[in-house]
Homo-oligomer: A and B are copies of this chain.
Amino acid sequence: MNERTVFFLSDQTGVTAETLGHSLLTQFDGQKFRQVTLPFIDSEDKAREAVHKIDALAKEAVVRPIVFSTLVQDDLRSIIAEANGLHLDIFNVFLQPLEVEFKQTATRTAGRAHGMSDIDSYMKRIEATNFALANDDGGMTRNYERADVILLGVSRSGKTPTCLYLALQYGVYAANYPLTDDEIDTGTLPDILLECREKLFGLSIAPARLRQIRKERRALGKYSSIQQVTYELREAKKIFKRYNIPHIDTTEFSIEEISSRILESTGVERRVRP
């Protein structure tokens, strides 16, 4: 199978083009892709430079490149359109029906998707991130009264990255508390958690997967043994059941999915939108 190069072009970060493109490309089994992002194309020079890169690649390649683009300025879009490849131009397709619907011409100004329009959203995300960091791993600060959700789980079940993603992406205040010997051996949760029981959410994971993750941290010893991992996970599940704590098995999920499913299950409202 010939490797296909996929370009993501943007006058901004390229995250929109990448996210959309990735969703589409995963629909084709067996294809091999090489992905190249060309962000911040905000001048005619940069647009021509991008065309040059795409054409140079196309000349060498057996199959022509795919070009996902989210440029908003018409003059830059028409330069890009000349590049050799299959063009999937996101603004071209969707802006026009929206113009008709709104009876309004799109501003076609670059740089509006992120940026200063939302100082407020920036501040909220930063504050949520600081909250997640300060309330990580059942540490010193336990401002659980300010938390939107408190994640419970054994070591390496994905609590910290999920809390950080919830903060950065959604501005949600997520604390986390590790289930260690204190909870696992007694099957009970401390009062500080039981006082806000409605905020608790559990993370579970398959033993083999947890073992694999723990081995990256400490290859030998009890911590990453299958016996220990199985024991901890079984007891953690009993705790979730005993206190009627909603929980999900994260084995098959990415950080995005875990986060999204937590919002879905708990009904916690996001404080910011992307």
Contact = CB atoms under 8 A, between A and B. Distances in A.
B72 A27 contact: yes
B273 A115 contact: no
- Chain copies in the assembly? 2
Nearest to A137: B133
Interface in A91-145: 91, 93-95, 97-98, 101-102, 104, 106-109, 112-119, 121-123, 125-127, 129-130, 133, 136
**Interface hub of A91, A122, A127, A251 (most chain B Cβ within 10 A):** A122
Given A66-B101, A255-B125, A106 B216 contact: no
Given A31-B102, A86-B101, A14 B66 contact: no
A134 to B, nearest CB: 11
A20 B88 CA distance: 13
Contacts of A216: 123, 127
Contact of A27 (B13, B28, B112): B112
Contacts of A112: 26-27
Interface of A is mostly: helix
A9 B94 CA distance: 16
Contacts of A115: 252-254, 257
Contacts of A165: 168
A116 B93 CA distance: 32
Given A123-B216, A257-B12, A274 B22 contact: yes
Interface string A1-42: 000100000001111101110111111111100010001100
Contacts of A259: 13
A123 B114 CA distance: 28
B23 A16 contact: yes
A113 B23 CA distance: 5
B129 A273 contact: no
A176 interface: no
Given A90-B20, A168-B165, A216-B127, A254 B114 contact: yes
A125 B161 contact: yes
A107 B209 CA distance: 27
A74 interface: no
A78 to B, nearest CB: 18
Given A114-B253, A119-B209, 15 more contacts: A15-B19, A18-B273, A23-B113, A27-B109, A28-B106, A31-B102, A86-B97, A86-B98, A88-B98, A115-B252, A115-B254, A125-B161, A125-B255, A129-B161, A168-B255
5 contacts: A14-B260, A16-B20, A19-B19, A30-B104, A129-B160
